[in-house]
Amino acid sequence: MYEGVSFIPLTWTDMLYLAPEFTLAAVFLLLIVLDLLLPKSVSRLSIGWLTFAGLLVTLGLVVWRMLDMNKAGAAADAVHLLSNSYRIDDFASLLKIVFLTGTAFIVLLALGSVRDDDAITDRAEYFYLLLPAVIGAMMMSSSGNLVTLYIGLELLSLTSYVLVGMRRKSSLSAEAAFKYLVTGGISSALVLFGMSYLYGVTGSVDLAVIGKALPGALVDFQALVYVGFLFMLAGFGIKIATAPFHAWAPDVYQGAPSPVSAFLAVISKGAALAVIFRIMFNTVLFAVGGEDANVSNDIFFIVLVLAAAAMLVGTTTALRQKNVKRLLALSGVANAGYMLVPIGLSITVVHSSNFSEFIYYLIAYLLMTIGAFAVLSVVSRSAGHEELKGFSGMYYRAPWTAAAMVVFVLSLAGLPVSGGFFGKLFILLGAANAKIYWLAAIIVVSSVISYYFYFGLVRQMFMRSGSDDSDIRVPAATGAVIWLCAAATIALGLFPGPLMEWIDAVFSIRSDLMFQ
C-alpha cells in the first residue's frame, strides 16, 4: 500500500455506519432475482413500488444516523472508515438525504409515466437500475480519497448510460445513450488524468494528505498542480453540464425518458457538484501566503469563471429553444453555474456560509426541476410531443396543474415567493459579501434574461388557445410528485430561515470538510 499504510478491514460497527449503502445494494440484488422469478404476466410496477420502499427505508437510516451523531446538539465529528477512504459526516449525510429524496420522487414519476410509454420494454430494470446509480452518488459524497471517489463516479455513470437508453424502440433514445456514453467516457478520462497528476506530485490518493502535501509540491511541480486541477475541473464540468462542456445535455435530455432526464439534471449533477465541493475545500485550501495563495486563488477563480460562463451561456442559448426538455437542459446549465458560485467563493473573513448556500439552492433546484419534469411528462403524453406549444391553453384543460407549473417557473426564474428566489438571493449576497461584484452582476443579468423563456411557458398556458380541448389526465403518482414539489417549493420560499438555521447547526466546515 502507498505510504506504508496497511489495509484496515471493516468491523461490525463500521458496517452499521454503512447500513444505508448496504440496504440499497441488498434491495437491488433482491429486485434482480425477483424480476427473474416473477412470471411475465405479473406487472413490473410492483418492482417500482419496492424500489420506492427501499429508497424510503434507506432515507430513514441516513436521517437516523445523522440525528444520532448530532444528538448532543452540536456538529458531530466525522467517522473515518477504511483509512479515511470513506467518511460519514454531516456534509455527506445532508447530501445523501437530498439524493435519496430526489430519487424517490423520480421513481414515483416513473411509476406514473411508464405505463403509457410503449418504447420502454424492460420496465423492471427502469426502476431498480436507479439504485446502483444513487449508491454511486452517495459514495461520491462520502469519498475521502480519489480511488473511492472514482469508483462512485463510474458506478453512477455506467448505470446512467443504460438508463438513458431504456426507450429501446426510440431512435432518439439510442442516439442520446451513445452521445452520453462518449461524453461520459471523455469526462471519466479527464478526471482520471487529473487525479494521476495529483497523485504523482503528492504521492497519495488521500484528500487530506494531498491537501497537506500540495504546498511542498508547488516548489518543483507548480505547473503540474495546475494541470491536475484543470483536467479534473474539466471532467467534472462535463458531468454537471457547465459551459463550455454542456453541448451533450440538450440531446441526451431530449432522448432519455423524462424521469431519467430528471435524474441526470438533479442527482447526477448534484453528486458531481458535491465532489467538486469536497475536493476544493480539502485540497485547494492549502494557501498559507505568497506563491501558495496565488495558486489557490487561481484555482478558485477558474471555478468562478466556469460559473459565470454557465449562467450566461445557459440562459442566452435557451432564448430560442422551443423544445421544453431541451429548455430544461439549458436551464440546468445555468443552475449549475449558480451552484458553482458558493464553491468558487472560498472562505473569507466575511463569508463562510458556502455550504448552507449550496445545499439550500440544491434542494430548491431539486424540487422545481423534478416538478417541472413531472408536469412535462403529463403534457407531452397528452399532446404527443414535447414542444412548447403543447402547453397552449393548459390553464383551461388542467388549471391546478398549470398553477403548479407557475410555482416551478417562478422558482426557476428566482422570483418571490419561492425557494428559488431565496436560493439565488443567498448566493448573490454571498458573492457581494466576498466583494466579487462582477459575478454578482452576472447572477442578476442571467436571471433577468431567463425571465423571457421561463415566462414563455406561462404565456402558452394562460394566453394561448390549444388545438386540443380535452382534459389532461394526471396519474396519481405523477400528481403526488407535482404537488409535493410545489408545496415544498412554496414552503421554502415562505420559511427559508428554519432550513438554513438547521443546516448551520449540524454542519461544521472544520469537522465535516477540512480533514483532521
What is the per-residue pLDDT across 490-513, written as a single tens digit (0 to 9) for each?
Answer: 999 999 988 888 888 888 776 667
Quickly list DSSP for 344-399.
HT--BTTB--HHHHHHHHHHHHHHHHHHHHHHHHHHHHHHSS-BGGGGTTHHHH-H
Mean pLDDT computed over 283-301: 75
Mean pLDDT computed over 328-346: 93
Mean pLDDT computed over 5-32: 82
What is the per-residue pLDDT across 214-242, written as a single tens digit (0 to 9) for each?
Answer: 888 888 888 999 999 999 999 999 999 99
Query: C-alpha angle 492/494/497, rounded to 5°?
Result: 70
Mean pLDDT computed over 342-358: 79
Q: What is the mean pLDDT of the chain?
A: 88
pLDDT of residue 405: 94
Q: Which of 63-72, 79-88, 401-410 has the highest mean pLDDT?
A: 401-410
Q: Of 108 and 467, which is predicted with more confidence?
A: 108
Residue 392 φ/ψ, nearest 5 degrees: -60, 130
Residue count of the chain: 516
Residues whose CB is less than 8 angstroms from the CB of residue 114 and which lie 6 or more positions away in sequence, other chains included: 45, 48, 120, 123, 126, 257
Query: C-alpha angle 384/172/167, rounded to 5°?
Result: 80
> Mutual orientation of helices 437-463 and 291-317 as an angle, nearest 10°?
20
Local confidence band at 2 (pLDDT 50, 70, 90 cut-offs): very low
Tell me if 172 sits within 8 A of 254, measured CB to CB.
Answer: yes
Sign of the alpha-carbon torsion through 426, 427, 433, 437: negative
pTM of structure = 0.93
* Lowest mean pLDDT across 229-238, 357-366, 455-464: 455-464
The 3-state secondary structure of 72-98 reads CCCCCCCEEECCCCEEECHHHHHHHHH
> Mutual orientation of helices 419-433 and 437-463 as an angle, nearest 10°?
160
Percentage of the chain beyond pLDDT 70 is: 92
pLDDT of residue 4: 45
Reply yes or no on whether the pLDDT at 380 is more than 50. yes
Mean pLDDT computed over 158-180: 90
Mean pLDDT computed over 94-99: 96
- Residue 249 C-beta-side C-alpha neighbours within 13 Å: 35
Mean pLDDT computed over 419-431: 92
pLDDT of residue 468: 62
Local confidence band at 450 (pLDDT 50, 70, 90 cut-offs): very high
Domain ranges of the chain: 16-512
